[in-house]
Amino acid sequence: MTVRIPPSLAPRWMVSAFALLVFDCSPSWLYADDPLCPVTRSKAHVERFFDEEVWPKVLEAECLQCHRSGGDAERTRFILRDLRLASAKESSEWLSLNRQTLERAALWKAGDRSLLLAKVVGELDHGGERVLQPESTGYRLLEQFVRHVNLPSSDAPMLPEGAFEQRPFYDGVAMLDDRRLLRRAILSLAGRFPTNEELKIVDEHGIDALPPILDAVMREESFYKRIAEAFNDIFLTEGIEGNADSTVLSYEHFEKTRLWYQKHDLSHITDAKEREQVGYKLANEYRSALLGEPMKLIEYILRSNRPFTEIVTADYIMVSPYSSRGYGILEEVKDRFANPDDPFEYIPVKLRALVGRNKSENQESASGNYPHSGILSTFQYLSRYPTTETNRNRLRARMFYLHFLGVDVLELAARGSDAATATAQFKIPTMQAPECVVCHKTLDPVAGLFQDYWRFDANFAIYGRRKEGWFSDMFEAGFEGENLPDQERWRALAWLGERTVKDPRFAIAMTEHAYYVLTGRRLLQPPKDIDDPQFAHRRRAYQEQRKEVQTIAARFTETGFQFRQLLTDWILSETYRADGLATVERSPGRLAELDDLGVVRLLSPEQLERKIEAVFGHPWGRLNEQTAMLYGGIDSKEVTERATDPSGAMGAIQRTLANDVACRNVALDFSRSPEDRILFPNIEPDLVPGSSPETDLRIREAIVHLHDRILGRLEEENSADVSRTYALFLGVIEDARTQGSSEPQEIWSCRQGLEKPVPDPHYTVRAWRAVVTYLLRRQEFLYE
């Protein structure tokens, strides 16, 4: 029988001597207050238990938000490191330091009980109150760890079954070959297919040839259009309520210039109706030019190879000839435009400090200029995220954290709280109640940095200070524990931007945005249900993505914040190249790990139109306005998230699209000279299946070409997939034969715009139309 003496009951010299005599203790486990160490043979086991159980399920989920630098408990002796801020190289070291911190805390006592365990259940004074229920999984995990630190000779904590049986994460995963990777990347970035020359280079040099090809692609005009589209999905600045000329440019500061189009001289147009239509067009183009300025700022940064930090530090905005009229600066900048009558040519300018109708509304400025801070200080961004008397700029602060640091502040307070109780118990709940402070200590200082934009009627003003001064029942204006100096108040947002780009989370957030630009998908979030049997596997999938993010973000920083580098690194990553399982997988845990594998997703209306144009030479042209909304598009106002799962309406649109696009293009392509054809360069309509083996082979070769062009799949002539398409082609012709006589040409609607007549006596043209319709309905075309 073995007798174990708890450390709390044994003399300290006895415990220390026994430990040092019997066990081979590592110095890292010896502490000044408690020179107690665990059994060496179980150390690796306990470390794994901490890494995979205690850290993700307890400390990261429940303790980290307060017990970190900048957190509400940053002045306590229990401080953890936030692994989200660590580089890929630092993550392991920081996790080890957190483990050592918990080991020290596990030795703290409150009488004869564990101080740590008493605090987490709210039995002792704890700023975070009760964070774990005594019978919860989280508490039991923490209790096991504390027990083992205090009784190292006890049984080691239990790890989930199979915890040590981890395969390489991408083992058994099929990766895109170099040609398909190039096609996917270029289609995503520029809405076109690779050229023959680009494919030849990749065939000769492999994946190493991709970076220079991609760099060239990312300088094409279509790339900048795609970037603007994707970043508007993120910032939603095109979703401003009302007319931009009355919301972006306020009455208080742009009264005399914002409605310039109403007085614009159109007297040279004699017809009244025509003059009215030109006036409407002028107004609409002006409003569009104003709304486009934030995205044009991003475009300018990329075109000029400027560091992407300027998204929040640029000391300029972009204006066009039309929008510069609204700002009242056209005459100053007119000579810088290549075409002063082009509403959508943009140049960078610095605005002067705002001058109000009343002197009290004049903008304070030490430089005489408006204190620009990239997108953050644009009137479009401030209008898109307005404030109210009760909100006090907190919406703007929340969106700042979400857009530029990748942090959803609302997620910081995961535990529910009773607002009525907090209000009754505390005079200022947002500064005193722990459940409120956890968010407001982060949010309110940044809200205070927007204090000079204290107007609620966008038609009247955006800029303006609160007459009574900023609120005293809010944390002081600043950022992450640093207060805003008085002399910097006039440029508070610029001060914020300068600190934002130095925060490690900025590079992480931009890396996440780049992934969205490429894939239209968000990265995985850490799993929250710690009782989920597959928690460890879902956690591993999340961690693998985070490692990729950290590595790419570090390179982004090292290369001077070049956004093109971000996109290239993602394209070359295993995350982006993963294409599916190479073998059948039956393990539930492994399936949970790979549940989000691959980046294939339903194409947006805009992307689908570009893909149709890439395949056929021109877009469908009908995925716009209401049809686009039905197909999962956004209006940046009420609808701000793109639909990713197909609906019944989408299915109907897909059927219409396939029928219509095939109808428009098959006979048209046959009407061209063979050397000019896109779809059928090597076959004629008079080739009928079954005529001869040579004819059948040419038909199969034509199908291979269609599969490659429409689906991006390069297959053999006798593959199962090609044979299925061949059977469809043959079946349509045979069905027409059984019907008896038929018109010797395509139907009227499908032979419009032909370059020359295309006879169809054998029904082959219509059979090819059926093939193209079928391919346009395939997942490989509708998803990418």
| Pure H helices in 64-169 | 91-106, 115-120, 137-150
* Same-domain status, 228 and 369: yes
Write the pLDDT tens digit of every residue in 610-649.
Answer: 999 999 999 999 999 999 999 999 999 999 999 988 899 9
Q: What is the mean pLDDT of residues 443-448?
A: 96
Residue 89 lies in a domain: yes
Residue 580 lies in a domain: yes
- Token representation of residue 782: 């509708």
* Same-domain status, 380 and 402: no
pLDDT of residue 583: 86
Contacts 24+ apart (CB under 8 A), 228-232: 228/292, 228/295, 228/296, 228/298, 228/299, 229/606, 230/516, 230/517, 230/520, 231/295, 231/298, 231/513, 231/517, 232/295, 232/636
Terminal alpha carbon distance of the chain: 66
Q: What is the mean pLDDT of residues 6-20?
A: 39
Q: Quick check: 654 and 782 in contact, CB under 8 A?
A: yes
* Number of domains the chain contains: 5
Least trusted range by pLDDT, from 150-159, 277-286, 362-371: 150-159
* Same-domain status, 226 and 180: no
In the predicted structure, residue 155 carries a pLDDT above the cut 80: no
φ and ψ at residue 689, rounded to 5 degrees: -60, 145
pLDDT of residue 12: 38
Q: Which residues contact 739 (CB under 8 A, 6 or more apart)?
A: none
pLDDT of residue 513: 98
Write the pLDDT tens digit of every residue in 761-772.
Answer: 999 999 999 999
Q: Domain end: 102, 126, 150, which one?
A: 150
In the predicted structure, residue 124 carries a pLDDT above the cut 90: no
Residue 617 lies in a domain: no
* Same-domain status, 440 and 423: yes
In the predicted structure, residue 41 carries a pLDDT above the cut 50: no
Range of the domain at 556: 166-210+515-598
Q: What is the pTM of this model?
A: 0.89
The pLDDT-based confidence of 350 (bands split at 50, 70, 90) is: very high
Please state, rounded to an integer, the average pLDDT across all residues of the chain: 90
Write the pLDDT tens digit of every residue in 553-564.
Answer: 999 999 999 999
* Same-domain status, 378 and 416: no
* Same-domain status, 233 and 332: yes
Q: Can you tell me whether residue 7 is helix, strand or coil?
A: coil
Q: Domain end: 468, 502, 536, which one?
A: 502
Contacts 24+ apart (CB under 8 A), 271-280: none
- 316/310 Cα distance (integer angstroms): 10
* Same-domain status, 729 and 744: yes
- DSSP string for 588-646: HHHHHHTTT-S---BPPHHHHHHHHHHHHSS-----SHHHHHHTT---SSS--S---S-
Least trusted range by pLDDT, from 119-128, 446-455, 463-472: 119-128
Closest-CA residue to 778 (of 662, 614, 631): 662
